[in-house]
Every structure is written in C-alpha cells, then in structure tokens.
Amino acid sequence: TRSLCELKSDLILTGDYGGDLNLYQRTLYPNVEGFQPLLLSKNVKQPIVQLEWADEKSDREELCIMLCPNMISLINVVLPKNKDGNEYKVKTIFELHTKEDLYSFSWKLAERLNHLHTFAMTLSGKLLVSRGERVLYTVQISSVNMPSPLVFIESLEKIVVQGESMTLCCYDQNQLAMTSDELGRKVAPSPEWIYSGIEVIQDAVTIDTKNLSLIFALGSSKVAVINAADGSLVRSVKKEGVRLTAMNIYETRKGLVQIYSTEERQLMIYLDTRKVWSACVNCDVIAISRSESGLLTFLTKTWTVRTMIIGSQIKIGKSKTSKNRMTREEIDLEIMKVEKRLDGS
C-alpha cells in the first residue's frame, strides 16, 4: 500500500480500502490515560489507493494528494489556531474524476495550486496527465500489463513504469505528449531504456543524489537500485527466502539509509551497501514513513498505525550513550528507595 502520508506538523494521514481518511497524532506512548491519537476520521466513499504529501501552504495548512479508483483529489489539512485546540479539518481544493480505474500516480507542484501536475496510470495501461482539474492528454502505453507504482523523475522529466513481466520501462514526458491520443497519433511511444530482471514491483521511489538520480524498485525478495538516466543497475539488495513488504529511503551526510520490512516482522537497515542494523517488530508492516525528527511510523495489515524509534544512531547500528544516563549503582539505589517506600506503606 502507498496510503501512509507523513505531514510536516508531526501528524500522520492514512487511508484504507474502506474509504476512511484518518488523521493521527504521532506518539510513542499510545496507552497514556486520556490520550487520543485519532484526531479526525472522514469517509470519502471510495477506496483510498494512494496518499502523497505535496506542500506546506502555511503554518496551519498542509496539502496532500489523494488517489481513489475514479478520482484524484488535492486536499488541505487544516490545523487548529492554537496548540490546545482540537478543530482539525480536511478540505477539498479540487477533484478530478475519471471514467477508468486508476491505481498509481506521481506528481510535481508548480508555484500556484492550479499548476499541480499529476501523472496517473489506469488498469488498461493508459497514462493520464493532468494539471489541476483539467486533463492535458492521455496516451496508451501498450507494454504495461500489470498494476505497479508509477514514478515521475522531475529532474529528468521522465516517467518510469513496470512494463511486461520482469521489465522496468522509462519514457520521456515530451515524447509521450507527442504520441498522445488527443493528437491522433497511431504510433506507440518507445521507451528510452528498459531494465530487465526486475520482479513485480510493490513500491518505487526516486532519490536525487549529488551525482545521480536513483530509482529504488521494491520487489518481493529483491530491491533494484537503478540509474534513472540510462537504466543501468547500480546495486541490488537480495534476500533469498525472505519476502519484503515495504521500504523507506532517505539521504544523510554519511550516505543513503534504506529501511526494509519483511513478512517475518523484521526490519533491515542499510547505509549505502552495508547492512548496519536489524530488529524485530511486533506487527505486519505494509508501509513505512519517517518524520523529520527520526521517528518511524508503520502502517500494518490491520490498518493500525505504530510509531517506533530504533536507537538514536541508526547509521552506526547502536545507541549513543547519553551523558545523563544513570549508572548501575544509581539504578540500584533508586530501586532500594522505591522498595522502602512500598514497605512503609
């Protein structure tokens, strides 16, 4: 699933196939008395397939894009005027309705809201390109025969989708526009490059490093890291006998951190090509997001949200010792004090 969305305001937006759009407050202590993590719930009357954070409109407003089978919507998450308020709202800025079922989209946002460009794929392999509420063009990509994530690489103006079985295809946006249905062209668009040997893709993201634009394509047992410019394989992460379920990629000064979850409820964390951490979690993870403060949020198979923190220095694989950390002798002393108080009561 791709329906877990991290907001700048330390909130989490999720969607499910029942059409429930839920806004949560992140916490590491959900069982504290009186604490209510669910801030807002709204049913949109369609299954929610994908959610993406788009932009921060103001200190109190954040924009997100929501994909349903027959609709792309730009929504505005409005926070209360003061920190103690509880009047959270979700407002619709615009909706683009389609006749064909959509399953994946990517986007780019210009300076004005009505310049939101979306690139969405239909189940029949048709690419729909829109700006705001208006469809710019559609084009049939004949090689697409299975639902998979669509990726738009803004720095290169290219679109990447899963093609025929075991391939990944890259198309130039301008060439797609020239072969659109609206122009009446009968020639099918040709991919700029094709990468073979990929599994059925569950998720795909792009990361722009200093030297390369990279595509991370998540299969069931393999992650392929591909150079977006020419389709060459940069590296891969493969785990025999282990089924991967979700990933989260981000860049640090030390390199690219990659977090992968498995069906065996394991997290595997890599720094570039080196595995630096692994841990067990007590839930079946289907999506991972990360806040600016470093907290990890998991969406589970039962559509519940879990927030966790793994150490304090993921990149080196162990927690950093705090200057204020108590010694063993101090801990024993505190325990003795508590026992005396209990005996006295």
Q: What digits encode the pLDDT tens for the residues 197-239? A: 877 888 999 998 888 899 999 988 899 999 999 999 999 888 7
Give tens-digit pLDDT for 303-322: 888 888 765 433 333 333 44
**How far, CA to CA in Å, does 292 sit from each of 9, 11, 256, 296, 297?**
10, 11, 15, 10, 12
pLDDT digits (tens, 9 = 90+) for 104-118: 999 987 655 557 889
The CA distance from 50 to 163, in Å, is 20
DSSP state of 1: -
**Cβ neighbours of residue 214 under 8 Å, at least 6 residues apart?**
206, 207, 208, 225, 226, 227, 228, 234, 256
Tokens of 136: 């710019």
Q: Give pTM, 2 decimals.
A: 0.81
Q: Are 24 and 41 in contact (CB under 8 A)?
A: no
The arithmetic mean of pLDDT across residues 153-175, rounded, is 87
Given a cut of 90, whether residue 343 has pLDDT beyond it is: no
Q: Nearest-CA neighbor of 20 among 6, 37, 3, 2?
A: 3
Print the SS3 string covering 190-220: CCCEEEECCCCCCEEEEEECCCCEEEEEECC
pLDDT of residue 44: 92
How much is the pLDDT for 339? Answer: 63
Contact 159, 141 (CB under 8 A): no
Average pLDDT, the chain: 82
* Comparison of pLDDT for 264 and 189, the residue scoring more: 264
